[in-house]
Amino acid sequence: MKLLVIGSGGREHAIAKKLLASPEVTAVYAAPGNAGMVLDGIETVAIHINQHAELIEFAQSNDITFTFVGPDDALAAGIVDDFEAAGLSVFGPTKRAAELEWSKDFAKQIMNQYDVPTAGHKTFSEFSQAATYIASKGAPIVIKADGLALGKGVVVAETVAQALDFTRDVLENNKFGKSRVIVEEFLDGEEFSLFAFVKNDKYYMMPTAQDHKRAYDHDKGPNTGGMGAYSPVPHLPQSVVDTAVETIIKPVVNGMIAEGRPYTGILYAGLILTADGPKVIEFNARFGDPETQVILPRLTSDFAVNMRDLLADKTPDFTWVNGGVTLGVVVASEGYPGDYIKGVKIPEKTTGNITTYYAGVMADATGQLVTNGGRVYLLETSADTVSDAQAILYKHLKAQDTTGLFYRNDIGDKANV
């Protein structure tokens, strides 16, 4: 098989690397990919994710068995619809199914309709009405701009004033290019992520994971795409996972069919374990980054064969490592998620029991890998316990020259309490 992965981040590096590990796979292409992936034998293709016609032509002329779509913006732009219209096999939701991610308002409608537990909410397009509602509810309160805002469209406001400022920015100052806000009840509890491979009415759960969204240690600083993760979440009882599957994954998968928008792709539920059980804070229509880099290394079955079977409506035999834990620490450009410089030299690729997944990197004129984005690379390892994995990764990170870069020193600490 020859396979194509759409995207260029650490998530796509992990997907492509795992696909390439299959004895049945002769080549994995990543479009556009990144220069770090090449070190693992992945072939990069210089086509942008929004050039659907060029991507389709590439898949056809290279006999691609199936294409795996990584990023949400490609899905929201209807890349799956276009590939399917061209008769190509592709893994990801159609634009209408991916609306679960690209419209938070649509996601809320589905959850209400199918009794999926989530935070209470109301949608507004008028500032004055939103302001009255926010004042009546008080803080803490959560405000979300409706639509894709690449992680910047949410504020967990600790005061009413902060909530009003953000709401004004969305509705009156047009800072996000969105015309609606969702005002949401603040959910108190531990956050975790649940991922499923979905093909219409069939779903196959993956191990749980926990992301670290804030930029700095002890969950301080701005929200980022994710600064590190581990899988599974050892202190999460199986009963909670089972409840989440029954009350969240199953009704959404069936609900999407009932709505005439059958879902194929990764279904990613961002959850908070409240005193009343797990509740949804958001759905994503794709794999998480950096969660993928800690989940996929735990897959022991042939990923490419699993995906081919799933797409052909055969039952895929996914198998996973049973014990231990996999940890990943993101190394980012100093300044991320704000402004940062590019072109900073980055350390050598790791070998042995530590894997490097590359994201915001490029090769300079001499072939040296340098920074080219906010999140630059992630180091991943597996061990018996979270603290063992932390010891391995942090020892290695301290020995690397990370001038101009930074990372969190506490990835996985929540699992150690």
Please give the residue ranges that form the binding site for ligand GLY (CB under 6 A). Answer: 211, 225-226, 284, 288-289, 291
Tell whether residue 142 is a contact of ligand AMP (CB under 6 A).
yes
Judged by CB under 6 A, the number of residues near ligand AMP is: 15
φ/ψ of 188, rounded to 5, equals -105, 120
Whether the Cβ atoms of residue 293 and residue 350 lie closer than 8 Å to each other: no
Tell whether residue 190 is a contact of ligand AMP (CB under 6 A).
no
By a kind-dependent CB cut-off of 5 to 8 A, residue 31 interacts, out of ligand GLY, ligand AMP, none, with none
Determine the residue with CB nearest ligand GLY. 226
Closest CA to 295 of 362, 368, 205: 205
Q: CB of 293: closest distance to ligand AMP in angstroms?
A: 18
Q: CB of 96: closest distance to ligand GLY in angstroms?
A: 21
End-to-end CA distance of the chain: 45
Tell whether residue 79 is a contact of ligand AMP (CB under 6 A).
no
d(CA 169, CA 152): 12
Interface region with ligand AMP, contact rule CB under 6 A, candidates 2-10, 122-130, 182-190, 362-370: 182-190
Whether the Cβ atoms of residue 36 and residue 12 lie closer than 8 Å to each other: no
Tell whether residue 72 is a contact of ligand AMP (CB under 6 A).
no
Choice between 64 and 183, CB closer to ligand AMP: 183
By a kind-dependent CB cut-off of 5 to 8 A, residue 226 interacts, out of ligand GLY, ligand AMP, none, with ligand GLY
Tell whether residue 266 is a contact of ligand AMP (CB under 6 A).
no
Q: CB of 286: closest distance to ligand GLY in angstroms?
A: 8
Number of neighbouring beta carbons within 10 Å of residue 284: 22
Q: CB of 143: closest distance to ligand GLY in angstroms?
A: 18
Cα angle: 61, vertex 67, 351; to 5 degrees? 105
Choice between 10 and 153, CB closer to ligand AMP: 153
Q: At what angle do helices 160-171 and 127-137 cross, to 10 degrees?
A: 160
21-60 binders of ligand AMP (CB under 6 A): none
Closest CA to 336 of 230, 228, 221: 221
By a kind-dependent CB cut-off of 5 to 8 A, residue 184 interacts, out of ligand GLY, ligand AMP, none, with ligand AMP
- Three-state SS at 297: helix
Choice between 388 and 410, CB closer to ligand AMP: 410
Tell whether residue 204 is a contact of ligand AMP (CB under 6 A).
no
Tell whether residue 257 is a contact of ligand AMP (CB under 6 A).
no
- Between strands 64-69 and 2-7, the pairing is parallel
Amino acid of residue 218: H
Tell whether residue 186 is a contact of ligand AMP (CB under 6 A).
yes
φ/ψ of 153, rounded to 5, equals -90, 20
Number of neighbouring beta carbons within 10 Å of residue 216: 15
| Residue 297: HSE in the Cβ half-sphere, 13 Å Cα cutoff | 29
280-339 binders of ligand AMP (CB under 6 A): 281-282
By a kind-dependent CB cut-off of 5 to 8 A, residue 291 interacts, out of ligand GLY, ligand AMP, none, with ligand GLY
- Which residue matches tokens 């958001």? 282
- Three-state SS at 345: strand
d(CA 239, CA 251): 18
Residues comprising the chain, all counted: 417
- Between strands 64-69 and 220-223, the pairing is unpaired
DSSP 217: G
By a kind-dependent CB cut-off of 5 to 8 A, residue 243 interacts, out of ligand GLY, ligand AMP, none, with none
By a kind-dependent CB cut-off of 5 to 8 A, residue 289 interacts, out of ligand AMP, ligand GLY, none, with ligand GLY
DSSP 249: I
Interface region with ligand AMP, contact rule CB under 6 A, candidates 44-52, 161-169, 184-192, 304-312: 184-192
Q: What is the CA radius of gyration of the chain?
A: 21
Q: CB of 270: closest distance to ligand AMP in angstroms?
A: 5
By a kind-dependent CB cut-off of 5 to 8 A, residue 187 interacts, out of ligand AMP, ligand GLY, none, with ligand AMP
In the list 80, 154, 244, 285, the residue contacting ligand AMP (rule: CB under 6 A) is 154
Binding positions for ligand AMP, rule: CB under 6 A: 119, 142, 144, 154, 156, 184-187, 191, 213, 223, 270, 281-282
